[in-house]
Amino acid sequence: MEDPLYQLKQHDKEIKLLIHCRALLDWDQETYMPEKAIDERAEQIALLERLIHERVTSPAMGSLLEKIGVNDENPDGPGKYTDIERALVREMYRRYRKAIKLPDILVAEIAQKACIAQSRWAVAKRESDFTLFAPHLQTLVSLIREKADHLGYNTDPYEPLLDDYEPWMDPVDLDRLFENLKPELKVLQQHITEKGRKIEKGFLSREYAEEKQKTFGLFILEKMGFDERKGRLDISAHPFTTSAGSSDVRLTTRYNRHNLNTGVFGIIHECGHGLYDLGFSRALWQTLLANGTSLGIHESQSRLWENIIGKGLPFWQAFYPRLQALFPESLGDVDVINFYRGINAVEPSFIRVEADELTYNLHIILRYTLEKALINEELTVHELPEAWREESAKLLGIKPERDADGVLQDIHWSGGAFGYFPTYTLGNLYSAQFYMTMKKEIADIEEEVKKGNLLVIRDWLTHNIHIHGSVYPALKLCRKVTGEELNPHYFIAYLTQKYGEIYGI
Amino acid sequence: MEDPLYQLKQHDKEIKLLIHCRALLDWDQETYMPEKAIDERAEQIALLERLIHERVTSPAMGSLLEKIGVNDENPDGPGKYTDIERALVREMYRRYRKAIKLPDILVAEIAQKACIAQSRWAVAKRESDFTLFAPHLQTLVSLIREKADHLGYNTDPYEPLLDDYEPWMDPVDLDRLFENLKPELKVLQQHITEKGRKIEKGFLSREYAEEKQKTFGLFILEKMGFDERKGRLDISAHPFTTSAGSSDVRLTTRYNRHNLNTGVFGIIHECGHGLYDLGFSRALWQTLLANGTSLGIHESQSRLWENIIGKGLPFWQAFYPRLQALFPESLGDVDVINFYRGINAVEPSFIRVEADELTYNLHIILRYTLEKALINEELTVHELPEAWREESAKLLGIKPERDADGVLQDIHWSGGAFGYFPTYTLGNLYSAQFYMTMKKEIADIEEEVKKGNLLVIRDWLTHNIHIHGSVYPALKLCRKVTGEELNPHYFIAYLTQKYGEIYGI
């Protein structure tokens, strides 16, 4: 009889191959697919999703897990295994336990409906008309509610949904975290508005030719250590990163001729995700451990690169001359300090992905509040646009008039992703905590960045975080890397110091 | 109990969805995939190939076909079905009968090895070094031989291989066809060389910026009626067309700054394939009848467009002014008659895809002879490059010195495609016969083309050929459309008339 662990790994490898095939179909849909192909693409994706689900929940999988002796009492598997093997067994069991609760047909239906909804969302956003998207969103909310019911929960159907993106995180803990964060952010914002110096950022909406933005973006990717033999950068309406193989990471971005931030920081952000996906230890390749351990940790990578590094002064001391040389007419009269201040200006705005690091989290709290209400049936799809405007007024002090600037701006819900948004703010919290540890371990890190050496950052992150894939759950990884629990204090301290300098307060 | 035909259709639809997924992976590999992704891509493709094969040969499939009453004695299924249903059952049975002879593991191994071999072939071709490719070709020849043994044959292992691309065609008939064709082609060629006027074609290797070639190519695609909402054009090392859905056809081409023919006629050729794939009756979508009925018929479409239309005088009377306006420096001193003669110059050359319509078929006979010898073990992989040079000398009177100009020029063998090449010449024969019928039915067809109206051609082909998919086998389709058997006389007559005018003989 063959070793059950070996057999389990063979099953898992086939699942991973199918996941990567599916990812390529998704990527293609958002980048190159002709528009009339969408209906069949939805069926293709639904089929792959069903094949994956069938394999994850197969009786063979169940009996192999049983043979190995992993169960609710022993979720880690036997002690004779290596740490990686135990983690593999743990994650396979967790996936299995969750997946067997879901009917095949529901999984395929969500995949198919989400694929269609996503393409309708894109149209609705272009037309800025929520009514075009509403029926599709309604369908998805019902299906996702149904999914939550199958998965089960203690008090809140949001629990198992959040768990898809941030395993082991309880919405009650998240509520507390956000409740504590909200006043601190609002106080800091008020302080900046009332006492901070005026910051000029008009130059960011001058003319920036897309081709040159791309040139600069590719240069930064190379500096960050992104291997172009293992990945690529394309254009899509909503930027994302996905893996079609262990050595095949696809980043996308979009460019705006009159908003320099969109392209540049979008690329740095996605590359942060991409480096995580390319950094898993080879021992984990083609297993389900070759995955970010949670989306919060994934976002910690993208947002550490985008904000702490990419919106930091040392970064621009290194690379601003090159940017300025590419855009002499738009940046010739802006020095590096004013550029640095401009890209960091704090100001309430409509669009999440273009928000500053402080108000960004208010955007997240808004979405978190609304999606929980939708899932808990405290809010209808019909009421959503108005609720968005009201929450926006409460949290940010501004009300979007156009649906495209409000409820339609993000792709997530159209893909059935409820429970995803809070991971962005978790990512911010983790990133600040990781960076403080990095700074302790590499004393001259800012000097290195100032010299243009970003590989020192990439290597630290790879060594401490990326190689582990999902061997350690997020909160445990945080303890392992930083020596303590997730602590929002680091993020607040980081913001306070950064904006203190920028705003002279 | 559910209707077995309905169930069969459900099985077939799932197979078709997987075939389209596989096609997208292939397309991506040749267009956008990062180079380090190749090994896992090979595994992904092998897995999909195995899943397809499992479904094609599943016991459920076998028992449904049995229930319906299709078997070797009744290969068309019961008379109570519609013509399309009978064809569907016939083709499913044919596929099933052939596929159950092949072990799953061999199918997956060929797919995986071919994927790797293809990427190594690309390197070998770039380096013009056959030895880099030889071991991979050796592996493939052995595997394909093994495949032929499993499939079975009367006297020649080439039989079941040819049948993959040109169903119902016997190599013995092909031998006879080619033996008759060869002297006629050589006589015509000699006649042209000895008595024809001198034709100037040097202007074709002047400077043609790629971006402008693309502009012209997209313009022609539109004129041909290629719907950009249902397909796209990209760049690859070896041009091809593939379908990732009923409304998702991917064309590729390549451009050469100093060879105008490569891009322009490559695009017209691939679009000919693409229109076939987009022209299937909607009733056939997502079934295995939504497929060219043979590669010979598929090539008849691409080569009719490329040569009979695209290299015809009326076409350039319509579109030459636009081409000239795009390239005033390279074409300003060339009038339409000299342009037309230049693109049709007959001359032995090394590269098949750039050959004139006459010598092209000698290139095919060369490949057909060699691949049959390889499969019949009358020739080793080691001896292949020299055999290529000798055959080339015999057939074309010239010997390529570089492997890249000889044995390495074509992608087919690297993908395990033995039995494919002869379909190009079959395509030429069919195309001339179809065109003669079209001319009879649309008397003023050349006048229409001269006015730039290519839709009249597209519509005739769609109505007479495309909509049928593989409802009719190739030879039967030929009779249905033209009223007679495949008759090489039409092709020879076409060449004789065309070159008679061009060369003034």
Cα A501 from Cα A490, distance rounded (Å): 17
- B37–A230: do the CB atoms touch at under 8 Å? yes
Residues belonging to chain A with any Cβ–Cβ distance to chain B shorter than 8 Å: 14, 17-18, 20-21, 24-25, 28, 32-37, 39-41, 43-44, 47-48, 51, 227-232, 234, 244-249, 286
The reported pLDDT for the residue numbered B1 is 59
Among the listed residues A49, A270, A306, A371, the single catalytic one is A270
Residue by residue, pLDDT tens for chain A (505 residues) are 579 999 999 999 999 999 999 999 999 999 999 999 999 999 999 999 999 999 999 999 999 999 999 999 999 888 889 999 999 999 999 999 999 999 989 999 999 999 899 999 999 999 999 999 999 999 999 999 999 999 999 999 999 999 999 999 999 999 999 999 999 999 999 999 999 999 999 999 999 999 999 999 999 999 999 999 999 999 998 899 999 999 999 999 999 999 999 999 999 999 999 999 999 999 999 999 999 999 999 999 999 999 999 999 999 999 999 999 999 999 999 999 999 999 999 999 999 988 999 999 999 999 999 999 999 999 999 999 999 999 999 999 999 999 999 999 999 999 999 999 999 999 999 999 999 999 999 999 999 999 999 999 999 999 999 999 999 999 999 999 999 999 999 999 999 999 999 999 9
- A247–B34: do the CB atoms touch at under 8 Å? yes
Task: Give, in order, the Cα–Cα distances in Å from B145 to each of A463, B156, B392.
Answer: 48, 11, 25
Gap from B504 CA to chain A (nearest CA, Å):
46
φ, ψ at A228 (rounded to 5°): -70, -10
Q: Which residues of A331-347 are buried (b: 16+ CB within 10 A; e: fewer)?
A: beebebeebbbbbbbbe
Cα A41 from Cα A36, distance rounded (Å): 9
Q: Is the pLDDT of residue B237 over 90?
A: no
Sheet containing B248-253, strands listed edge to edge, beginning at the edge strand earlier in sequence? B231-235, B248-253, B241-245
Residue from the list A36, A48, A245 with its beta carbon closest to the beta carbon of B41: A245
HEC profile for B175-194? HHHHHHHHHHHHHHHHHHHH
CA torsion, points A205, A207, A209, A210, in degrees to nearest 10? 20
The reported pLDDT for the residue numbered A1 is 59
Site from A11, A26, A29, A32 to mutate, B interface, most B CB atoms within 10 angstroms: A32
Residues belonging to chain B with any Cβ–Cβ distance to chain A shorter than 8 Å: 14, 17-18, 20-21, 24-25, 28, 32-37, 39-41, 43-44, 47-48, 51, 227-232, 234, 244-248, 286
The reported pLDDT for the residue numbered B354 is 87
Residue with tokens 């064709």: B181
The reported pLDDT for the residue numbered A78 is 86
Please name the helix (run of DSSP H) or strand (run of DSSP E) that holds residue B233, with its range, or none.
strand B231-235
CA angle A10, B32, B206 (to 5 degrees): 150
Gap from A402 CA to chain B (nearest CA, Å):
28
Which value, in Å, is the radius of gyration of the alpha carbons in chain B?
Answer: 23
CA angle B36, B38, B42 (to 5 degrees): 155
- pLDDT band, residue B102 (cuts 50/70/90): very high
Query: What residues of chain A lie within 8 A of the CB of B37, using their CB?
Result: 230, 244-245, 247-248
Per residue in B313-346, pLDDT tens?
Answer: 999 999 999 999 999 999 999 999 999 999 999 9
Type of residue numbered A237:
A
Q: How far is CA B487 from the centre of its chain?
A: 20
Among the listed residues B49, B85, B166, B270, the single catalytic one is B270
Q: Taking Cα atoms as reference points, which of B70, B56, B49, B166 lies closest to residue B100?
A: B56
Query: What residues of chain A lie within 8 A of the CB of B47, using their CB?
Result: 14, 17-18, 21
Q: Which stretches does DSSP call E strand in B116-156?
A: none
The reported pLDDT for the residue numbered B77 is 81
Query: What residues of chain A lie within 8 A of the CB of B20, using their CB?
Result: 40, 44
Residue from the list B14, B25, B39 with its beta carbon closest to the beta carbon of A21: B25
The reported pLDDT for the residue numbered A314 is 98
Task: Concatenate the DSSP letters of all residues of B156-223 into one string.
Answer: -THHHHHHHHSTT--HHHHHHHHHHHHHHHHHHHHHHHHHSPP---GGGGS---HHHHHHHHHHHHHH
Give the rounded percent of residues in chain B with a pLDDT score beyond 90.
96
Q: Quick one: A89 exposed, middle or buried, by C-beta within 10 A (0-12, 13-18, 19+)?
A: buried
Residue from the list B35, B40, B51 with its beta carbon closest to the beta carbon of A246: B40
Cα A68 from Cα A415, distance rounded (Å): 36
Average pLDDT over chain B reads: 96
Gap from B96 CA to chain A (nearest CA, Å):
22
- B28–A33: do the CB atoms touch at under 8 Å? no
- A17–B40: do the CB atoms touch at under 8 Å? yes
Nearest CA in chain B to A243: B37
Cα B501 from Cα A4, distance rounded (Å): 75
Residue from the list B17, B37, B286 with its beta carbon closest to the beta carbon of A244: B37
Tokens of A358: 């402080």
Q: Which stretches does DSSP call E strand in B399-493?
A: none
Q: Taking Cα atoms as reference points, which of A143, A162, A142, A165 lies closest to residue A154?
A: A162
- Is A146 annotated in the active site? no
pTM, 2 dp? 0.95
The Cβ of residue A206 has, within 10 Å, a number of other Cβ atoms equal to: 15
Query: What residues of chain A lie within 8 A of the CB of B25, using their CB?
Result: 21, 24
* Inter-residue contact A474 to A297 (CB < 8 Å): yes
Query: What residues of chain B lie within 8 A of the CB of A226, using their CB?
Result: none
Site from A11, A33, A105, A115 to mutate, B interface, most B CB atoms within 10 angstroms: A33
Residue from the list A28, A48, A248 with its beta carbon closest to the beta carbon of B34: A248
Q: Quick one: B478 exposed, middle or buried, by C-beta within 10 A (0-12, 13-18, 19+)?
A: buried
The reported pLDDT for the residue numbered A77 is 81
Per DSSP, the three-state class of A283 is: helix
Per residue in B20-44, pLDDT tens?
Answer: 999 999 999 999 999 999 999 999 9
Count chain A–chain B contacts defined by CB atoms under 8 A.
98
Gap from A300 CA to chain B (nearest CA, Å):
26
Please name the helix (run of DSSP H) or strand (run of DSSP E) that holds residue B242, with its range, or none.
strand B241-245
Q: How far is CA B109 from the centre of its chain?
A: 24
How many residues in total does chain B contain? 505
Residue from the list B20, B37, B232 with its beta carbon closest to the beta carbon of A34: B232
- Find the mean pLDDT for residues B489-498: 97
Query: What residues of chain A lie within 8 A of the CB of B123, using their CB?
Result: none
Cα B185 from Cα B360, distance rounded (Å): 10
Task: Give, in order, the Cα–Cα distances in Å from A235 to each of A27, A255, B146, B199.
Answer: 10, 8, 45, 46
Residue from the list A39, A234, A245 with its beta carbon closest to the beta carbon of B40: A245
Task: Give, in order, the Cα–Cα distances in Å from A371 to each of A144, A161, A379, B248.
Answer: 11, 11, 9, 35
Per residue in B124-154, pLDDT tens?
Answer: 999 999 999 999 999 999 999 999 999 999 9
* Inter-residue contact B429 to B486 (CB < 8 Å): yes
The reported pLDDT for the residue numbered A2 is 79
Q: How far is CA A195 from the centre of its chain?
A: 33
* Inter-residue contact B356 to B497 (CB < 8 Å): no
Type of residue numbered A131:
T
Residue with tokens 């056939």: B284
Query: What residues of chain A lie within 8 A of the CB of B52, using their CB?
Result: none
* Inter-residue contact A371 to A380 (CB < 8 Å): no
Query: What residues of chain A lie within 8 A of the CB of B35, using their CB?
Result: 229
Cα B60 from Cα B288, distance rounded (Å): 17
Per DSSP, the three-state class of A242 is: strand
Q: How far is CA B178 from the centre of its chain?
A: 18
- A230–B18: do the CB atoms touch at under 8 Å? no
Gap from A11 CA to chain B (nearest CA, Å):
12
- A18–B230: do the CB atoms touch at under 8 Å? no
- A34–B247: do the CB atoms touch at under 8 Å? yes
Residue with tokens 């080339």: B392
Q: What is the ipTM of this complex?
A: 0.94
